[in-house]
Amino acid sequence: MEVGVVGLGAIGRQLCRALDEGIAGLHLAGATARDREKAERFLKSLGSPAPFLSLDALVRASDLVIEASTQAHLRDEIAPRTLEAGKDLVVLSCGGLIGRQDWIDLAASRGCRIYVPSAAIAGLDGVKGARIGAIESVTMETRKPPRGLAGAPWIESQRIDLDAITRETLIFEGTATEACRAFPANVNVVAALSLAGIGPERTRIRIFASPEQPLNRHRITVQGEFGRLTVEIENVPSENPRTGKLSYLSTIAFLKDLFATLRVGT
């Protein structure tokens, strides 16, 4: 299977390296990014140098396109072009999938699939199992250092002075849908959780600015017929302070699973 990578940041570069080192059944067809010169330098550094391609050429050359770019790029170019061409799509900026039933319909009509790796969160296997039965509630608490929330529309509109926060403070509470509007760059995790579970209207999140600790922490609680599930994760940042290492490690594991003979976990 030919794989194209869109975006060569913290996630995209690690995926290219892993594909270059070898993942059964997969071959790196090429990549695209905003800064061509920098991207070409990186792609030439691989053991088997891969070409820099325009998005359209990359989609043509690929069976599977991995989006590791931005929600805006996903919305405006990557999803429409990839799905229209009938190619499978892996989405990292999955906050952009909320409310996009049209993309799911388009993929179904073209006979391709949209994949959302667990990325920065864990426990989606349990949530998927739970949702086969009855679920009463899915709630999430996210704690981030205040500067990790800078620039979000909610911070701006509520005029929250992040520098003035000296101890843990609840700054947002709402549904996954509302959180996507309020914090478009911080909500991929709750988007994935809501898509795996009971949807963005019934999934609730509380976001805390927490100056006491440097890591992004998430706690998920699911209550249902199966019992109660709690997952807690502390993410060590990658070279992009907003992206945890687990985001690309999990995506590499997802790619390894595509052609694995023994596949463990839901």
Nearer to ligand NAD by Cβ, of 217 and 226: the residue is 217
Residue 149 or 189 with smaller CB distance to ligand NAD: 189
* Angstrom distance (rounded) from CA 35 to CA 120: 25
In terms of Cβ atoms closer than 10 Å to its own Cβ (0-12, 13-18, 19+), residue 35 is: exposed
Q: Quick one: 226 exposed, middle or buried, by C-beta within 10 A (0-12, 13-18, 19+)?
A: middle
Q: C-beta of 133: minimal distance to ligand NAD in Å?
A: 25
Burial of 158 (0-12, 13-18, 19+ CB in 10 A): exposed
The residue with its CB nearest to ligand NAD is 9
Q: Which two tokens stand for residue 152?
A: 């979000």
Q: Does residue 73 have an active-site annotation?
A: no
Residue 235 CB neighbours (<10 A): 20
Our CB check for ligand NAD shows the closer of 142 and 247 to be: 247
* Active-site residue, selected from the candidate residues 69, 218, 250, 252: 218
> Which residues would be at the binding site for ligand NAD (CB under 6 A)?
7-12, 32-35, 68-71, 73, 92-94, 119-121, 185, 188-189, 192, 240, 243, 247
* Between 42 and 172, CB nearer to ligand NAD: 42
Please answer whether residues 55 and 32 qualify as being in contact, where contact means their C-beta atoms are separated by less than 8 angstroms: yes
CA distance 7 to 4: 10
Residues assigned a catalytic role = 218
